[in-house]
Structure 1
């Protein structure tokens, strides 16, 4: 039984230190984000299927939640981007490293049947890259 009002998942939000750096990272992963958004305190894009991905600067979040602090001791959320082929996982990983981003786990063949790698966005969030192995 769901609560009243027909709740439905609509948006995933990220809190970022540097809006321009974060948006540049996600543009490399194919998100269509206008360059004019780099100086905004809040940005959101609608993804295929209708889910929205949003970014808020720390200052924006603290404007309505002055006690907000970044999480410590590890992440509690991860994002995953599917690419076309297993070779594309390797290539995307190398391209992101070449653009100055940090790798967390180099590409490997996961036991669940996918080629997988993990990079880190500018705010320390893990971002998975994957493709089915078949």
Structure 2
């Protein structure tokens, strides 16, 4: 059997804050998960997205430390249009999240923006400039 990618996981400082952020991006996360040490959501394509608290990870890997000097993971969310990239970015900033890079028309043909989740992971928003 060939291994297949089944889950992308994040280590989070504050489970509730992280789940709130990703719910704003449309992930269907089980209600009442905010106080759990491990949470999973299955995406429409069957891929699972998971969150573990720092304490959970340190329970089996006590030497774990948060990566320094850059991102540990990169994620990109496809939006329906360039206008939606701008709207989602603006909505997240208005909700108190930080912009890493304001929306711009990238030379590779996409409207692109980058925001930071509560654990400083860069989350990209993008859409093709032309349909």
Q: What is residue 44 of structure 1 aligned with on the other side?
A: 40
Residues 30, 41 of structure 2: 8 Å contact kept: no
Give 1:75-114 correspondences, 5 Å limit. 75-114=71-110
TM-score relative to the length of structure 1: 0.95
Match of 2:19 among 12, 18, 23: 23
When the two chains are superposed, the root-mean-square deviation of aligned CA atoms in Å is 0.8
Q: TM-score, with normalisation over the residues of structure 2? A: 0.97
Question: What is the Cα deviation at residue 86 of structure 1?
Answer: 0.3
Partner of 1:124: 120
Count of aligned positions:
130
Say if 2:58 is the partner of 1:59: no
* Structure 2 unpaired stretches of 5+: none
- Runs of 4 or more above 3 Å deviation: none
